[in-house]
């Protein structure tokens, strides 16, 4: 078997690197250089100048470390995006120059997928739900229907950006993450906003609230502790939601923010609570590096062949879910539930029960050991109380929901009617999609945001649609929140059958009956943080 050797060049943000990998997955060389700005954040022009200075130095360093000659290189791989435009242009120009001078084929790859694939290479994970967190990206990624799908992402800034911004504004320095982690070890909890919207998270409000605490003179240790605990709980909750939805049995953490030991601990705890295996690549492979680009280049080139030079333009907003991934083994080994559970969701355990002779289910919002008690108690109590009210108000809006029998705020549990029927996920067609859109419109007309409209949370009973699990629900008159609600459903449809998803979602929007909402959804999607 012929062994291919790939040289990869990375430089999407403040760090540039060159790596050399062979097609057996052996890492032959890894060289890199980090830019540390004197003040403020990463300036795109300065990052580009840094890369232009260092890439010509790092290439011969990597060649020497690998013990190779330039003639031994079979492929030039480079990060095509997402990232800072000026930095990406330097990387692409360097890769083209090297390709032309050596007369070697070239291929551009997706930076985010590089993190996932090198993580799998290093850990042996096969088909995980991946939490990818860095300065410029925060995504929950899992493979479905031929591509890596984004099951959750930030609606504004990335977690690394949030921590760095806080560090700069409060004089802790850049990067902020390591200093915040250190101070957090001496801190106690102060109340900060916890924002999870369906399968997505938002950090801008959390950042602003933390900065206000600092301005008021609250202990920096306490703010750092609370900022870290709140932000990481949000990330882990959405990862847990994706794990519950996909029923995969592997979880992987990757990206530069993986360096935080508390985040690793929380994600590992969540994984173990679900009976899933937890993986994290070596720390040197978590940050941006050339090895991940070289390895993904090999995988891509094997499937699609090299690129023509005309195809090597940079893509600042290169989406993770734009790339066909035919090499994944999608043989799933599903999570197994204990016999007493009907379902184990991200939020609750669902147990069969009864109430005055009626079949019932007990939705038990169990404590989450990955969250500190102050955050866990606050969220569980608020969501239990809100869900009970939403179930009743949804009925008044003309939408069928389970009958509420009892609520126990001290136990954070709800006893309700058991719905017997088909889960929409298993029977979806265009007519059902239209009907679902019509029902969602009724909820939104009453300013009810379901918060977790997935194809697993809608059932068909006696030919009537029943909406269940309002656990992330709330009230809002804002079109923005209603559009995010619909986006959750769109992502859920894509996980069933990506090819049919758009057809189904078009039917949902027709049933919804508000043409302006389509524009709002497109606007939110265009803000997706795929750049640094």
Among 498, 496, 492, 200, CA closest to 325: 498
CA distance 494 to 135: 27
Among 12, 2, 7, 61, CA closest to 314: 12
CA distance 91 to 78: 7
Set 22, 452, 469, 485: catalytic member: 452
Given a contact cutoff of 8 angstroms between Cβ atoms, the answer to whether 437 and 507 are in contact is yes
3-state secondary structure of 264: helix
Active site residue 452: yes
Helix (H) or strand (E) holding 426: helix 424-427
Residues 6+ apart with CB under 8 A from 216: none
CA distance 110 to 337: 36
**Would you state the structure tokens that stand for residue 401, as one six-digit string?**
């929901």
Handedness of CA 305, 311, 314, 320 (dihedral sign): negative
Among 319, 268, 313, CA closest to 148: 319
Please, how many CA atoms are within 13 Å of residue 294, restricted to the half-sphere of its CB?
Answer: 29
Peptide bond preceding 175: is omega within 30 degrees of 0, i.e. cis? yes
**Partners of residue 460 on adjacent β-strands:** 422, 465
**Rounded to the nearest 10 degrees, how much is the dihedral formed by the CA atoms of 295, 299, 304, 308?**
0
CA distance 271 to 256: 20
- What residues are labeled active site? 452
């Amino acid at each position: 078997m012929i062994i291919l050797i790939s040289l990869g060049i990375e430089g999407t943000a403040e760090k540039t690197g060159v790596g050399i990998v062979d097609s057996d997955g052996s890492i032959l060389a890894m060289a890199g250089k980090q830019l540390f700005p004197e003040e403020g954040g990463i300036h795109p022009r300065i990052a580009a100048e840094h890369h232009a200075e260092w890439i010509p130095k790092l290439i011969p360093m990597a060649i020497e470390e690998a013990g190779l000659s330039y003639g031994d290189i079979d492929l030039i791989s480079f990060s095509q995006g997402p990232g800072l435009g000026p930095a990406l242009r330097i990387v692409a120009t360097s890769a083209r120059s090297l390709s032309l001078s050596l007369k070697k084929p070239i291929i551009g790859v997706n930076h985010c997928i590089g993190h996932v694939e090198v993580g799998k290479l290093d850990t042996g994970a096969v088909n995980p739900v991946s939490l990818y967190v860095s300065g410029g990206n925060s995504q929950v990624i899992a493979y479905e229907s031929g591509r890596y799908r984004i099951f959750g992402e930030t609606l504004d800034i990335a977690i690394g950006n949030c921590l760095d911004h806080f560090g700069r504004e409060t004089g802790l320095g850049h990067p902020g993450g390591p200093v915040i982690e250190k101070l957090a070890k001496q801190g106690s909890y102060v109340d900060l906003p916890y924002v999870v919207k369906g399968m997505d998270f938002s950090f801008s409000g959390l950042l602003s609230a933390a900065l206000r605490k600092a301005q008021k003179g609250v202990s920096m240790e306490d703010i750092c502790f609370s900022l870290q605990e709140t932000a990481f709980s949000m990330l882990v909750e959405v990862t847990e939601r994706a794990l519950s939805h996909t029923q995969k049995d592997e979880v992987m953490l990757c990206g530069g923010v993986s360096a935080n030991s508390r985040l690793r601990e929380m994600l590992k705890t969540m994984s173990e609570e679900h009976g899933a295996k937890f993986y994290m690549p070596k720390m040197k492979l978590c940050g941006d590096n050339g090895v991940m680009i070289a390895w993904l280049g090999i995988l891509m080139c094997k499937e699609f062949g090299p690129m023509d030079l005309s195809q090597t333009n940079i893509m600042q907003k290169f989406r993770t879910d734009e790339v066909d991934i035919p090499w994944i083994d999608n043989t799933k080994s599903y999570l197994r539930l204990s016999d007493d559970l009907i379902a184990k969701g991200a939020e609750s355990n669902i147990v069969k029960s009864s109430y005055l002779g009626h079949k019932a289910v007990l939705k038990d919002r169990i404590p989450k050991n990955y969250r500190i008690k102050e955050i866990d108690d606050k969220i569980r109590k608020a969501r239990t109380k809100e869900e009970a009210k939403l179930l009743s108000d949804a009925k008044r809006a003309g939408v069928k929901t389970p009958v509420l029998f009892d609520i126990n705020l001290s136990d954070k549990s709800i006893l309700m009617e058991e719905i017997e029927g088909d889960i929409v996920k298993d029977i979806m067609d265009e007519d059902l999609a239209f009907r679902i859109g019509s029902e969602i419109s009724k909820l939104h007309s009453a300013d009810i945001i379901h918060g977790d409209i997935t194809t697993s949370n809608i059932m068909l009973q006696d030919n009537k649609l029943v909406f269940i699990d309002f656990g992330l629900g709330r009230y809002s008159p804002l079109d923005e929140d209603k559009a995010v609600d619909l986006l959750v459903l769109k992502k859920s449809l894509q996980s069933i059958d990506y090819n049919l998803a758009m057809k189904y979602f078009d039917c949902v929007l027709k049933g919804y009956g508000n043409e302006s909402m389509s524009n709002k959804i497109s606007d939110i999607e265009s803000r997706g943080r795929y750049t640094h």
